[in-house]
């Protein structure tokens, strides 16, 4: 697809994340549909082996919410919003109707 161009030397191996200052990292994580074993779901409930959320973190989530995954996504969002300082969700509909803005620590759902 070649949609993201990252210069050499900027990608950090997962196992090396802990050796970098958190304020210098951007972590791209899969699992916006709240699949139970996805990295994002495990981070949300604090069971990921390498990553945790704290009040310094910003979460930006882009997901399509369907009737089949609605409860799981909102449960995941509840867990994440309790930990992260800034929390923003972007759904397909919001992309075309309003800009995404950082939410306060309380929940910002579509």
Question: Residue 62 has what DSSP assignment?
Answer: E
Residue 83 structural domain: 29-97
pLDDT confidence tier of residue 89, bands split at 50, 70 and 90: low
Residue 106 belongs to some domain of the structure: no
In a domain, 18, yes or no: no
For residue 86, give the CATH number of its domain: 3.40.50.10710
The number of folded domains in the chain is: 1
Distance CA 17, CA 31 (A): 19
Identify whether 11 is part of a domain. no
Question: For the whole model, what pTM was predicted?
Answer: 0.66
Residue 76 inside a domain? The answer is yes
Which two three-digit tokens encode residue 85? 């300082």
In a domain, 79, yes or no: yes
| Per-residue pLDDT tens digits for 5-16 | 888 988 999 889
Q: Is 65 a domain residue?
A: yes
- The total of other beta-carbon atoms located within 10 Å of residue 52's CB is 12
Q: What are the pLDDT digits (tens) for 22-40?
A: 888 988 887 777 788 888 8
């Amino acid at each position: 697809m070649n949609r993201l161009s990252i210069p050499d030397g900027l990608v950090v191996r997962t196992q090396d994340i802990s050796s970098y200052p958190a304020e210098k990292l951007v972590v791209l994580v899969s699992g916006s549909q709240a699949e139970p074993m996805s990295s994002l779901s495990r981070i949300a409930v604090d069971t990921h082996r390498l990553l945790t959320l704290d009040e310094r973190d910003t979460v930006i989530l882009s997901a399509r919410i369907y009737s089949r995954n609605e409860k799981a996504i909102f449960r995941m969002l509840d867990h994440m919003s309790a930990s992260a300082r800034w929390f923003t969700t972007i759904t397909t509909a919001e992309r075309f109707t309003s800009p995404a803005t950082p939410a306060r620590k309380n929940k910002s759902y579509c």
